[in-house]
Amino acid sequence: MDEAHKIYARGISKKGIFVLMLKLVSISFSFLIFMQSLGICFTDLVKLNQLIEHASFHSEEYGDDIMTFVAKHYGESKAEHQKEHQEEKEDHEKLPFQNHSHISTVIAIVSPVYKADFNKIEFVQHTISNFHYQEPCSSLHSLGLFQPPRIS
């Protein structure tokens, strides 16, 4: 018995699996949209290890705490720190959250407002008689060729 049949045997129906998958996909997309709105790329998440290594280097070498480290690499002391420590330039380029790209899209949709003024609604009742009957005047009827069947 394969895995799908074992799952069905445990009492989870196809609809239940569909609902679970739907929830998983919606949570994944929500997380993706949240991360993109913060400007965090997947490559930044991969580089977190380098951030931790460089922070520990600053702690051992300069005695910096985490707030000083963040100020030197991401805050107001960034330019001064880069100028003083040119030997760490390669390490600084490998740190995450260094991308300065920003894409902003503004979409404005203006729909025209239509206001219908119906002050007076007028109902017109109009009847035309389409009934007209005309007696058949064909010679075939008068000759008796087309007569209904008769019981003899």
Domain-embedded: residue 126 = no
Q: Give the separation between CA 105 and CA 107, rounded to whole angstroms.
A: 6
Mean pLDDT of 42-67: 87
Domain-embedded: residue 41 = yes
Please give the residue range of the domain that contains residue 88: 3-93
Domain-embedded: residue 61 = yes
Domain-embedded: residue 18 = yes
| pLDDT at residue 70 greater than cutoff 70 | yes
Q: Per-residue pLDDT tens for 73-114?
A: 888 888 888 888 888 888 888 888 776 665 666 677 777 777
Q: Give the separation between CA 91 and CA 8, rounded to whole angstroms.
A: 53
Please tell me the predicted confidence (pLDDT) of residue 152: 67
Question: How many domains, the chain?
Answer: 1
Domain-embedded: residue 151 = no
Domain-embedded: residue 33 = yes
Count CB atoms within 10 A of the CB of residue 118: 5
Domain-embedded: residue 142 = no
Mean pLDDT of 59-71: 88
